[in-house]
Chain A
C-alpha cells in the first residue's frame, strides 16, 4: 500500500467522522433522536411486552391449568381466546357487539352532525351562532355521564328494583331493549360524539364557494344531483375523518357499555378486557386488546386509502367567495324546535337528572319531601352509604379531585411541550426519514383504543423490566399513559404551529451567533407557545374526563374523580356517583371557558 493511499483513507475517515459530527450537531437531529427513544419506550415497548406476556404462563394461571409453570412459554391464552368453550362468549359475541355499536354510533353521529352543520353553515336558520356554540357542549360532558343519566331516566323495575324517573312519572315500565343494551348504548354515544362530525363538516362546508353549486344549477342539474355530484364529494374527506374519529373512540370506550350493557349480558370487547384483567387473567385481556388494536388499525387504514383515492379539490382560491343561504321557508321553525329538542336531550336533561339524583335521600325516590343535600355537604353518618361523608367534605373525594386536576395539569403541560419538540423536529427535518419516523411514531397511540392502551401500560409496568421500574400504583404511570395517548394531538398541533414560523427568524439569530438553547427559548418557544396553550387546555379537558384509559391503572392512592364515579356507581351509590359527575362537569366547563378566554386573547 502506498503512502498516498493511506493518506487518502485517513482523510476519508476524518471526513466521514466530521460529517457525522456535523449531522449530530444539528439540534433538530438530536431532538429527533431523543424523541425516537422516548417514543420507543412509551409506544412500541408496551406493545411488544403485551404480546410477549400473552405467550408466557403467569402465576395466577396455576388456577387455570395443571400444566402451568409460571414464566414458561405457552399458547394456552391464545387457545383460550380463539379455540375453547369460552371463545363464543369472550371473543365472538363481544366482537360483534363492539363493531356493531361502533358502526351504528359512527353513522348516527355522522348523520346528526353533518345535517346540523349544513343547517348552521348553509341555511337561513335563526340563532345560528348560539347553536354552533351549543353543539359542542355534549362532547364536553364525559360520555359515561350520558349513560348514567339514561339509567336514571329509563331504569326499569325488572332489573333494578327501584325504577327510573320515566316509570316514576308515567307508571309505564320501559321494555328491556329501551333500558339496556344495544339501543341505549348507540343513542347515548351518538349524542356524545356528533360534535366531532359537526365541527369537521361545518369547517369543510364554509370553505366551499356556493358558486360551485350554483353553476351546477345553471347547467340544469337537479338539487339532488348537485348534492350528490358537487357538495358531497367536497365534504367527503371531512365525513371520512369524522367517521374514523368516532369509530375508534367508541371501540375503546368502556364506561357506557359497562353501565348499559352488563345488566342484559351485552358485553363488548372493552368490557371483556376489563373483566378478564380484574379476574387476574390479564394475558387473555391483552389478547383481546390486541384484537381491538387490529380492528381499529384496519379501519383507519381502509379509511386513509379512501381519503387518498377520492379526488381532492382546491376550494379556497384567491378569488371572490360567497356563501348563499338556502331558505328553509316553512321548515325554519320546526327545524329550530328539533335542534332545541336535541339540545335538551343531550345537555339539559342529563344535567337535570344528575343533579336531581344527587338530591334524593333514597336512590330513585324522587319525591319532593325526600330531597336532601346530605350527599353534598352531609357529615359522615353510618346510616347512609356505609358512613361516607357528603362529597364536599369527604377527604377521599377531595383527594381524588386534586389527583384529577394534578393529572390533567401535568399531562397537558408535558404532552404540550413534547408536542412542540415533535413539531420542531418534524418541520426542520422535513423530507428526511428520521423526521417522518418521529411523525409516524407519535401518531401510533391514535390507533390504539383507550382501554387497550391502558392494558398495554399494565403489561409493561406491572413488573420491573430491564432498566424500567415497576410503576404500577404510582401517579407517574397514570400521567405517562395520559401523555402518550394525547401525543398524536399535541404533536399535530406542534407541527401546525411550527409550520407558521418562518425559518429565516431562526437563521437570522443563528448568524448573529445565538446558541440553539437561546434561539429556542427566545424565538421558537414564544412564537409557538400561543398556539400550544389551546392545545394544553384541550388535553386538560380530555384527561379530566378520562375513564377508559386509566381504569386499569389507578389504585386507591391515585384514584381520580372519574374512577371514583365508576366505583360508587358499581356499588349502587348513585347519589354519590351523580354528585361527583356534576363536580367533574363544573371543572371541565371552567377549563373550557378558560380556554375560550385564552383563545380570544391570542386570536386563535
Chain B
C-alpha cells in the first residue's frame, strides 16, 4: 500500500477551520450547513484556480455526490432538487456555496488568518490545509482549530508523492534522497519539515505528532488521482463558469 503507482511520501488533509476563541463548539455539523443563510458571506475558501490541491477537494466531493445527496436528505429531511443544468449533488453543493457569497482567498495561510484573527462577533469558517495548525505556535494571536466532526466527511485527504525524473544523471543519489526524506522510526531529519500537525506519514512506524489524531480516526474521503485527472478540469470549469 502507498507504493503503487508512485511512492506516497505523506498524506495531507484539507479541512474546515473555525475560530475557537469566539466559538466554544464546532459551529457546523454538515457540509450542507455552509449553504444556508446563516453562513452567507462567512465561508472562506482557498482558491482552486491557484492551488490545484483544492481542485482535488472539489472533484472528490463531486465524486461522492451520492453521499452528498444522502446527507442533504438527512439534514433537510427531503430529497435535493438540482438547479437546471447541474448534474449531481456534488456540483449543486459547489454552486450553492458560490451563490452564498463565498469568499475566495489566494493562499491557505490567508484563509487560516482570516478565521483565526477575526475580530467579528460572528467569525467565518474556512477551508484550508489541516497543517496550518502549525502557525499557531508562531503567532499567538491566531485562534483557530480544525472542525474534526462533520458529516458526511470532515475533509479530503490528498497524497503527496515522490518520483524520479526519467533520464536523470544520478538516479541512485535520487533514491538516497527519497530514502532520507521518508524518515525513520525516530522521525528522522529528512522527514522533519513534514512532521507537523495535519500531515500524516504513510509509515506505520512513525508516530503522529503530539496532539494529532491518526488518519484512521478521521472521517475523510481520499482523493482519487485517476478521477481528479479525468474530471478535475470539468469541476474547475464549473467553478469558473459560476463565479459571479
Binding site for B on A (CB under 8 A): 63-64, 85-86, 88-90, 157-163, 262-263, 265, 275, 278-279, 362-365, 383-384, 570-573
Contact assessment for A571 and B109 in the assembled complex, using a CB-CB cutoff below 8 Å? yes
Q: Which residues of A contact B41 (CB under 8 A)?
A: 158
Give the shortest distance, in Å, between B141 (CB) and chain A (any CB).
5
Contact assessment for B137 and A383 in the assembled complex, using a CB-CB cutoff below 8 Å? yes
Docked pose: A158 CA to B230 CA in angstroms: 36
Say yes or no: is B184 at the interface (Cβ < 8 Å to chain A).
no
Q: Which residues of B contact A571 (CB under 8 A)?
A: 107, 109
Contact assessment for A88 and B49 in the assembled complex, using a CB-CB cutoff below 8 Å? no
Q: Which residues of A contact B104 (CB under 8 A)?
A: 262-263, 265
Q: Which residues of B contact A363 (CB under 8 A)?
A: 113
Report if A362-B141 is in contact (Cβ < 8 Å); known contacts: A85-B237, A570-B106.
yes
Across the interface, name the chain B residue whose C-beta is closest to A264: B103
Binding site for A on B (CB under 8 A): 41, 44, 47, 49-50, 52, 103-107, 109-110, 113-120, 137-139, 141, 229-230, 232-233, 236-237, 240-241, 243-244
4 A-B pairs with least C-beta separation: A161-B114, A161-B117, A572-B109, A161-B113
Contact assessment for A572 and B141 in the assembled complex, using a CB-CB cutoff below 8 Å? no
Across the interface, name the chain B residue whose C-beta is closest to A167: B119
User: Which of the residues A64, A157, A275 comes within 8 Å of B119, measured between beta carbons?
Assistant: A157
Q: Which residues of A contact B138 (CB under 8 A)?
A: 383-384
Report if A86-B237 is in contact (Cβ < 8 Å); known contacts: A161-B117, A265-B243.
yes
Contact assessment for B49 and A279 in the assembled complex, using a CB-CB cutoff below 8 Å? yes
Contact assessment for B118 and A572 in the assembled complex, using a CB-CB cutoff below 8 Å? no
Give the shortest distance, in Å, between B5 (CB) and chain A (any CB).
18
Give the shortest distance, in Å, between A379 (CB) and chain B (any CB).
15
Contact assessment for A163 and B119 in the assembled complex, using a CB-CB cutoff below 8 Å? yes
Contact assessment for B241 and A160 in the assembled complex, using a CB-CB cutoff below 8 Å? no
Docked pose: A161 CA to B49 CA in angstroms: 21
Docked pose: A278 CA to B48 CA in angstroms: 12
Q: Which residues of A contact B240 (CB under 8 A)?
A: 86, 89-90
What are 26 residue pairs bridging A and B, where the CB atoms are less than 8 Å apart in the complex? Answer: A63-B230, A63-B232, A64-B233, A86-B237, A86-B240, A86-B241, A158-B41, A159-B44, A159-B105, A160-B110, A160-B114, A161-B113, A262-B106, A263-B105, A275-B49, A279-B49, A362-B139, A363-B113, A364-B117, A383-B137, A384-B138, A570-B50, A570-B106, A571-B109, A572-B107, A572-B113
Q: Which of A157, A275, A384 neighbours the largest number of chain B CB atoms within 10 Å of its CB?
A: A157
Q: Which residues of B contact A383 (CB under 8 A)?
A: 137-138
Q: Which residues of A contact B107 (CB under 8 A)?
A: 570-572
Give the shortest distance, in Å, between A58 (CB) and chain B (any CB).
13
Across the interface, name the chain A residue whose C-beta is closest to B140: A362
Q: Which residues of B contact A573 (CB under 8 A)?
A: 109
Across the interface, name the chain B residue whose C-beta is closest to A370: B141
Q: Which residues of A contact B119 (CB under 8 A)?
A: 157, 163
Contact assessment for A161 and B50 in the assembled complex, using a CB-CB cutoff below 8 Å? no
Report if A161-B139 is in contact (Cβ < 8 Å); known contacts: A86-B240, A263-B105.
no
Q: Which of A86, A162, A275, A570 neighbours the largest number of chain B CB atoms within 10 Å of its CB?
A: A162
Report if A159-B114 is in contact (Cβ < 8 Å); known contacts: A362-B141, A365-B141, A383-B138.
yes
Give the shortest distance, in Å, between B79 (CB) and chain A (any CB).
26
Q: Which residues of B contact A161 (CB under 8 A)?
A: 110, 113-118
New A-B contacts (7) at CB < 8 Å, excluding given A159-B103, A279-B236, A570-B106: A86-B241, A89-B240, A89-B241, A159-B114, A262-B47, A275-B50, A571-B107
User: Which of the residues A63, A88, A279, A572 comes within 8 Å of B229, measured between beta carbons?
Assistant: A63
Q: Which residues of B contact A263 (CB under 8 A)?
A: 103-105
Across the interface, name the chain B residue whose C-beta is closest to A263: B105
Docked pose: A365 CA to B50 CA in angstroms: 27
Q: Which residues of A contact B49 (CB under 8 A)?
A: 275, 279
Q: Which residues of B contact A85 (CB under 8 A)?
A: 237, 241
Across the interface, name the chain B residue whose C-beta is closest to A271: B49
Docked pose: A159 CA to B117 CA in angstroms: 11
User: Which of the residues A162, A265, A570 comes within 8 Å of B117, measured between beta carbons?
Assistant: A162
Q: Which residues of A contact B229 (CB under 8 A)?
A: 63
Docked pose: A363 CA to B49 CA in angstroms: 25
Docked pose: A232 CA to B41 CA in angstroms: 49
Docked pose: A275 CA to B55 CA in angstroms: 14
